[in-house]
Structure 1
Amino acid sequence: MSRVSLSKTSLAKQNQALRTYERFLPSLDLKRRQLMAERAKEVAAQQQTRQRIAALRERVRETLPMLANTEVPLDDLVRLRGLRLGEENVLGARLPRLEEIDIQLADYGLLGKPHWVDTLVELLAEMLRLRVEEDLHDQRIAVLDAAVRKVTQRVNLFDKVLIPRTRDNIKRIRVYLSDAERAAIVRSKIAKNKRLRESLA
């Protein structure tokens, strides 16, 4: 920390700095609260996706008990061929956004597989989409966590370090200037009294 000069110029600079810090602090705190609200929305969306995954699992368990039959080959029926992600700016945080998902369904003979495989393929494709959404929620929450952490550090820097330090500096400079002014007045009176005594002598 650099030493603050105890002068009127320094006092003016410190007052200006304090006004600037106090002007920026509310907007930083608002941004932090907005980011936290966005994070809460994302967590809620993630929970919804997880509930849909759990409901889909339950649906498979109830409607397709024949999956226990290991004699029917079910490998590679559904495959994620690719996905395209975009980006959205939310309060300065660049969040990934799913723009397109390409799911490949295997070609299989309708007579070579049991009738329930069609339903299974649809459910597997839906599960794959939900899994991609869940991963995306994880990524978005991680980016929002980092943004909240960064803004919180800035809020704490302003609130707990810069503003109190600047107020202390202003107080110290004012005390010094007040003492210096008092000392100057006292010196002036002493000098005046000395001149008066010398003129009378």
Structure 2
Amino acid sequence: MAIKFQYNKTSLGELGKQLKMRQKALPTIKSKESALRSEVKKAKDSAQQFRERYEALGAEYDYMVALWGEFDPDLLRVADVELTIQKIAGVRTPVLQDVLFEQKHYDLFSSPVWYADGVDILKRIARLGIEFEVFNRKTELLDYARRKTTQKVNLYEKVQIPGYEDAIRKIKRFMEDEENLSKSAQK
């Protein structure tokens, strides 16, 4: 990206301001990138732990697989998922507060004994699945923000700051040459 400029003091001043602004912003953006990188790693680790816990619960579910044929699927459903927003390094991420279930009443005496355990397992599986999805979404948001911040850091470090420094150097040399020419012409 070539920086457009004119060979005069006004352009020199404007380029100087732009350069200072980017040099002051660069450490902040770098720290944001670092914070986002660590948060992405934490979120991925948490998602992995949720996946492992979900697989363990799945094994518990599979243990009773022969009995699930007689389980009433209308007995339990997710009524609501309560989410809040948490800002992490300027990125709004979802946080699971609570999962509300709607459970139909069933007769404890006429229904199988394992229904209570089955309802509990289904609640835990549903909650863990929802938590896993929330963490996946959080990881996606943080990773996207990290990539954008990394792009901005690279843009500042490798393109704009060197470009502005080069343009300022060119303007200063041009103005020095003009001054030298005018002095030599006066002699």
- Going from structure 1 to structure 2, the CA distance change for 1:124 and 1:70 (only over 3 Å counts) comes to closer
Displacement of 1:2:
6.8
Distance 2:70 2:47 in 1: 34
Q: How many equivalent residue pairs?
A: 186
What pairs with 1:1-201 in structure 2 (closer than 5 Å)? 3-62=4-63, 64=64, 67-69=65-67, 72-189=70-187
Distance 1:11 1:50 in 2: 57
CA RMSD of aligned residues (A): 2.0
* Runs of 4+ in structure 1 over 3 Å off: none
CA distances 1:130-183 after superposition (whole Å, capped 9, x unpaired): 011011112211221232233223223322322121011111112211211221
Contact 2:75–2:103 (8 Å) recurs in 1: yes
- Code of the aligned partner of 1:114: P
Distance 2:68 2:19 in 1: 73
Distance 2:184 2:25 in 1: 42
- Code of the aligned partner of 1:34: A
Displacement of 1:27:
0.8
Percent of matched pairs sharing the same residue: 30
Contact 1:83–1:102 (8 Å) recurs in 2: yes
- Going from structure 1 to structure 2, the CA distance change for 1:8 and 1:73 (only over 3 Å counts) comes to closer
Contact 1:6–1:173 (8 Å) recurs in 2: yes
- Going from structure 1 to structure 2, the CA distance change for 1:165 and 1:71 (only over 3 Å counts) comes to closer
What is the SS of the residue equivalent to 2:70? coil
Structure 2 alignment gaps of length 5 or more: none
